[in-house]
């Protein structure tokens, strides 16, 4: 990710962390919501890794705005040759969501059905759903109004792209949770010494670090495979979303074990990350779905399975 872009985004996400409306205005004023929009739509048409880098940062800061979904919606609209509107946007992948994240505040919702893309006006007029996450989840009513625009992507890659965006958010949040937990274990004393001196705590921290490294490695690889005009590589994306989901569960569990009761308080901030992790891992297909996709890809490949795994040629 470009250094100046990263520094600017980090500053904005940090300065306005507790003020969603002010955060969104700052992001828009600095052009960060339009990285993937085309120049004709007032965007920058930047490379995939730049937008995914920003999504990663949004996850690390538990941003209470639909930045990731707005960026992904802009990409999918561009892939269908449709104009990208300004303002907050949500995503609805037909058959894969209970509702639209931030559906109560978005100006537009991008609906995906196979290769078909349609743009609808928001806010979404549905009911608020019970969700473990911190952000509003609005139910999807039957589409009565005609879409603002309709188009078709060259490839059926909407689900995979949205899943990869969530995997990037998960990785950002995992890294933040890990850093927060290491700092807490080094500062918090129990029985006259820091928690980090306890062997059981060291084991939890090392396992968290291993999970974070495994998830970020495969998600990075999947991001590098993304190209305009083509669906993301399905096998790599499946591995990325699956591994990120597994890591999210383990890292969140261990973090709360180390923190104890303080980790659940709104004032401390850990729960702002972990509650989102628990929901993001289920968005656009959970671990079971993507593990099944990996298994199908493995069995459908040429030759015997084990030699391909051993030679690194499964993908």
When pLDDT is averaged across residues 160-189 and rounded to a whole number, the result is: 96
Distance from C-alpha of 146 to C-alpha of 134, rounded to nearest angstrom: 31
Residue 128 has pLDDT above 80, yes or no: no
Burial class of 141 by CB neighbour count within 10 A (0 to 12, 13 to 18, 19+): exposed
Confidence of residue 190 (pLDDT cuts 50, 70, 90): confident
Q: In terms of DSSP H, where are the helices of the chain? A: 3-15, 20-29, 48-60, 67-79, 158-187, 199-224, 234-259, 270-280, 287-300, 305-310
The overall average pLDDT reported for the chain is: 91
What pLDDT sits at residue 118?
95
- The pTM for the full model equals 0.92
What pLDDT sits at residue 164?
98
When pLDDT is averaged across residues 4-16 and rounded to a whole number, the result is: 96
What pLDDT sits at residue 129?
61
What pLDDT sits at residue 132?
56
Q: 59-73, 242-256, 295-309 — which is least confidently predicted?
A: 295-309
Q: Which domains does the chain have, with CATH numbers?
A: 3-152 (1.10.540), 158-305 (1.20.140.10)
Confidence of residue 135 (pLDDT cuts 50, 70, 90): confident
Percent with pLDDT over 90 in the chain: 75
What pLDDT sits at residue 125?
63
Confidence of residue 79 (pLDDT cuts 50, 70, 90): very high
């Amino acid at each position: 990710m470009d250094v100046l872009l990263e520094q600017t985004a980090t500053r904005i996400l940090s300065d306005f962390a507790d003020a969603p409306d002010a955060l969104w205005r700052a992001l828009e004023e600095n052009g960060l919501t339009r990285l993937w929009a085309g120049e004709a739509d007032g965007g920058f048409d930047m490379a995939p890794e730049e937008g995914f880098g920003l999504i990663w940062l949004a996850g690390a800061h538990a941003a209470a705005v639909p930045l990731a979904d707005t960026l992904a919606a802009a990409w999918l609209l561009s892939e269908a040759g449709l104009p990208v509107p300004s303002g907050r946007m949500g995503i609805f992948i037909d058959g894969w969501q209970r509702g639209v994240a931030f559906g109560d505040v978005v100006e537009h919702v991008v609906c995906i059905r196979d290769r078909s893309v349609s743009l609808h006006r928001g806010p979404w007029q549905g009911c608020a759903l019970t969700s473990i996450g911190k952000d509003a989840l609005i139910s999807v009513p039957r589409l009565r109004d005609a879409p603002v625009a309709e188009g078709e992507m060259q490839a059926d890659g909407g689900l995979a792209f949205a899943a990869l965006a969530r995997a990037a958010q998960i990785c950002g949040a995992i890294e933040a949770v890990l850093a927060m937990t290491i700092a807490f274990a080094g500062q918090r004393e129990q029985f006259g010494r820091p928690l980090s001196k306890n062997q059981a705590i060291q084991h939890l921290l090392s396992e968290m670090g291993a999970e974070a490294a495994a998830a970020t490695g495969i998600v990075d690889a999947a991001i590098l495979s993304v190209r305009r005009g083509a669906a993301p590589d399905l096998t790599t994306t499946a591995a990325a979303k699956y591994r990120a989901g597994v890591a999210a569960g383990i890292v969140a569990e261990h973090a709360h074990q180390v923190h104890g009761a303080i980790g659940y308080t709104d004032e401390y901030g850990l729960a702002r990350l972990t509650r989102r992790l628990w929901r993001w891992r289920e968005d656009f297909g959970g671990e079971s779905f993507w593990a099944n996709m990996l298994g199908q890809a493995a069995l459908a490949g040429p030759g015997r399975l084990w030699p391909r795994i051993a030679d690194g040629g499964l993908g």
